[in-house]
Structures are given as C-alpha cells and as structure tokens.
Amino acid sequence: AGRIYLQPNGEPYEIGALMRNPDYGATLRHLGKHGPEDFYTGELAARIAADLEKNGSFVTANDLANYQLQETPPNVGTFHDYTVTSSGPPHGGATLIAILNILEGYDLQAMGHNSPDYIYTVAMAMKAAFADRNPHMADPYHEEVPVEWMISKERAQYWRDQINSGAEISAAFDVGDTPSTTHVSVVDGAGNCVALTHSLGSSSGVITPGLGFMYNNSMINFHPLPGHPNSIKPGKGRTTGMAPTIIYKDDKPVLVLGSPGATRIITSNVQVILNSLVFGMSITEAVHAARFDCQISDIRCHARIPEYVCAEVRKRHPIRRLPRSHGGFALVEAIHIDPITGQLTGAADTGTDGMALLV
C-alpha cells in the first residue's frame, strides 16, 4: 500500500500531484474484459483468496464465490411538501427521515437559524432518532428492523412530546462507524440524478500484490458482543451512517446530497436539508453554514457558533464548541436543481478537498 499511495520518501502525495497506480489500471482492464463475476469466481478471485489465505485471513475462495449482492429499496418519507428518499437498512436513511419527521412539527424558521432554541430542538431530534437507531439498526436480511415504526409520523409525535416536556432522552451506545468514506452527487444533462456514497471503513492498508486496490476494514462497524441486532454473523452486512439522499418536490428532484463522515453523515445531511428547504439558503450557503451534532451525549458545534449562543443552550443540555470553524463533522457534497428553470448549482464542504464541478 505504501509503495502505491506514498511518495518514495514515505510522505503522502500533495493535492494535485500525479500518483500512478498501474496495477489498479490493469485490474480495471481485466474486469472490463472478463466481467464482474471474475472478481468472485475467476482469476481475480483466485489471486485474492490465495493472498488472504497466505496471510492468515478468514476470507476464503468460497466466501467470494458465495457473496450475494443485496439490492434494497430506499427509505421514503415526507417533510412538509417534499418527498425524501434515502438509503435503506442497514444504513442511515431511516434515521435521517426520522429526524426530519420530528422537526416537521416545529416552526424552525421562527426560532431562527442556529439560535439557542433551534440548536437545542434539532439536537434533541437527532438524539431521539439515534435512540431508536442504535438498538435496532441491522442488516434486514438477517434481523427484523422496525423501519416503518422508526420513520412513522406517530413515532415522531412521541419524540416531540418527550422533547417538549424536557424529558431526558437516552441513546444507547453504538459502535458507530469510521470516517474514511467518499461521496459523489451527480446530475446529468437529461436530469438523471445519482447520490453515491462508498466506504472502506478506515481501510485496512492491505493490497494484494499486483491488484492495486485496498481492502475495506468494515468489520469494525459490527457490534463486538453477541446478542445485539448488529452482532457479527456469517454473511451479514454491517451498519453504516451512509445516507445518500435525493429530495423531490411535485415529483421533480430538487436536492441531491450526501457526505462522508461516519454517523455524522446523517446529522450533517439533515442540517443542509433544513438550511435549503426551511431557511431558503442557496446551496453554497446551506453547505457552508456552521453545524452541530448530537447522538448519544453532548452537543458538539463549530467554533463559528458564538459562545453566548452555546451558553443559552447549556442551560438545557451540555454543549461543546470544537476548536475548528469548518470540518470535524461530515463533509457534504450537494446539488440544487431549480424546480422552474432546471438550473443546477453545486457546493462542496470547505472542510476538505471536495469540489463542485460542471463538465
């Protein structure tokens, strides 16, 4: 891995530098010629299995041959006049929709963007949705996942009642997932939309000689103890926070977004959606606005949110300002589609090296 992804002096490549990976190019050409099945049962599979066996891995040729791709329908919800589609279990779409369901019952605009009331209310909606997610989310092909209950308007009303009463919301600890993820949002000239999130976990650092690609490290996303819906099991998929999302108004897509950033993907996507749909921000303003996150304990926020605001929030719930103004949460990549003119506007989070590009 170091031979490919590091310079000869052991340092990472600078942004914009040319990094050559001829092994990966050869692998892609091989797949183009022999088809994807070669990865599971052909020459590539044999090379992968031999290398993993040689190095003491549990993964075998039979595991590759028996792998089944599971195509799951998206979760679908509504937020005021909008239809929200996001990833199905075991990913983050249901939690994103659940948060929006709770917030649909509040006049967020009247509270004011990132005001103390707004931060507290949105943070408690986040915490409530994670209180349902953490003990229940799992691979739906191996466990019963109560998605309809989680994203129901009735469940949202229950949580609003809890929030309004000031009751403590307790979210069970979750193993979470790792932040080494990539997201791409695309809209083409014909109006086709794609929100694509892919993750290696934290990546393993392992590359089979001659193949050029790195294996994932997503076993870390399972619950380490037996008896939990997300416990390790043969053939089972692990949970993630990935929540690629497309939002529609009158059956026309108006917002395409997603992000890397572990379970903070969910809470960051929600805030960009609210910034755009509730506060009428441009997509650039919506993506670049200061954010916060709350899942199982404290609220954490960007340093751009003033201390006097945090002091008011702190009277109701613990909050910590992070020592950074950008990044630290998920890194949203989003496209807004004007429902009348069809004009496309893209924005990428300033916390890293993402970009918006017209080609």
How does pLDDT run along the chain (359 residues), one tens digit per residue? Answer: 888 989 989 999 988 899 999 999 999 999 999 999 999 999 999 999 999 999 999 899 999 999 988 888 999 999 999 999 999 999 999 999 999 999 999 999 999 999 999 999 999 999 999 999 999 999 999 999 999 999 999 999 999 999 999 999 987 765 555 556 889 999 999 999 999 998 877 667 899 999 999 888 888 888 888 999 999 988 888 889 999 999 999 999 999 999 998 899 999 999 999 999 999 999 999 999 999 999 988 999 999 999 999 999 999 999 999 988 887 788 999 999 999 999 999 999 987 778 888 88
State phi, psi for 20 to the nearest 5 degrees.
Answer: -95, 135
CA–CA distance, 94 with 320 (Å, rounded to integer): 27
Copy the structure tokens of residue 276: 């755009």
CA–CA distance, 211 with 51 (Å, rounded to integer): 11
Residue 92 DSSP code: S
What Cα–Cα distance (Å) separates residue 82 from each residue in 25, 94, 335?
A: 42, 16, 16
- Collapse the DSSP code of 347 into the 3-class scheme (helix H, G, I; strand E, B; otherwise coil) and give the result: strand
Annotated active-site residue in 181, 208, 239, 263:
181
CA–CA distance, 287 with 24 (Å, rounded to integer): 33
- Structural domains for the chain: 2-65 (no CATH), 75-176+239-348 (1.10.246.130)
Q: What is the CA radius of gyration of the chain?
A: 21
How many helices (H) does the chain have, and how many strands (E)? 13, 11
* Diameter of the chain measured on Cα atoms: 63
Of 31, 41, 34, nearest to 64 by C-alpha is: 41
60 has catalytic annotation: no
Of 82, 84, 124, nearest to 250 by C-alpha is: 82
Count other Cβ atoms within 10 Å, centred on residue 208.
Answer: 20
The DSSP bridge partners found for residue 231 are 223
The model's pTM is 0.91
